[in-house]
Amino acid sequence: MKVVVVGAGSWGTTFAGLLRDNGHDVTLASRDAEQAAAIESAGRNPRYASGVDLRGVAAATLAEAPVADADVVVVAVPSRVFAEVVQSLPGVAPLLSLTKGLDPTTGARLSSLVRDRPVAVLSGPNIADEIARGLPAAAVVAGEDLELAVRLQLLAHSAIFRVYLTDDLAGVELCAAAKNVIALAAGAADGLSLGDNAKAALVARGLAEMRRLAEASGGRPDTFAGLAGVGDLVVTCWSPTGRNRRAGELIARGASPDEAVAEIGMVVEGLTTAPVLRDLSRELGVEMPITEGVCAVLEGVSIADLVSQLMRRAPTTE
């Protein structure tokens, strides 16, 4: 298939390599002409996932990429620019979103922003660095159009990247957004050296928040026991290279959110998503104390005070 991958960050770069290895005709599109030229000439991305061999992958700017002629367009851009990017794409080819977040302006699920073309979402425990090194991983493609979802499953499925199917688009997208916020809290637990018991409890209660929110939005309970739910949450909260976990750790040790992002050198989606997720939960009447706490810390509340407040909440049923 002719595929254009829009977004030359770590995951977009790695995914382009996966698709090339599956025999597809792949173009990696960057918004930066200098980056695109460097990829085209060197067969490597000089900025992100530089270990991925991109020989055989064409590189171009987004304006020059053959989007209108593609069979599939894969979008791997930050949530804050997702709407702008997808609404500028020519043609009507199906779109596969790799972006994990919500629209920061409207709070909408990102797939709902795609107009005039079929859309599906790929999510799961997908640390790009590990996949780039050829380590086995799995993901799930979510789409309401089963025929399209099967096509996209076969597009990416390989001996090292196993792809499953679901039609729970709402559940998968909300899990993907919420797990980054919980990972900020998990990183803070690491930064404060609160121990494995506290971190495991936080992750378990974070999963409960994710479930409540997604179910209130039409998601299914089984999604949270799968790759997009507990799978992605666990790897995001424990991986040493996870951006959101690392940002939470740095903030707990005294860095500002901006300083944490500068040290990590990549987009930290949880920082964008946290206030959007909190506002959505309030609108739906869903209790999300960990998400509320993350937002409070980002707004200046002491983490030590927040931990005390969370532990002193009234006892309740699980």
| Half-sphere exposure in the Cβ direction for 148 (13 Å, CA) | 19
All residues at 6 or more sequence positions from 59 whose CB lies less than 8 Å from its CB, including other chains: 8, 27, 28, 29, 30, 36, 37, 39, 40
Cβ pair 169, 144 in contact under 8 A = yes
| CA gap 230, 130 in Å, rounded | 18
DSSP states along 123-181: ESS--HHHHHTT--EEEEEE-S-HHHHHHHHHHH--SSEEEEEES-HHHHHHHHHHHHH
All residues at 6 or more sequence positions from 285 whose CB lies less than 8 Å from its CB, including other chains: 216
CB burial string 298-314: b at 16+ within 10 A, e below: beeeebeebbeebeeee
3-state secondary structure of 207: helix
Question: What does the DSSP 8-state code read for residue 102?
Answer: B
Q: Give bridge partners of residue 119 from the DSSP assignment.
A: 95
Burial class (CB in 10 A: 0-12, 13-18, 19+), 264: middle
| CA gap 14, 37 in Å, rounded | 18
Q: Is 179 a catalytic residue?
A: yes
All residues at 6 or more sequence positions from 114 whose CB lies less than 8 Å from its CB, including other chains: 86, 95, 97
Q: Give bridge partners of residue 138 from the DSSP assignment.
A: 162
Which residue numbers are catalytic?
A: 179
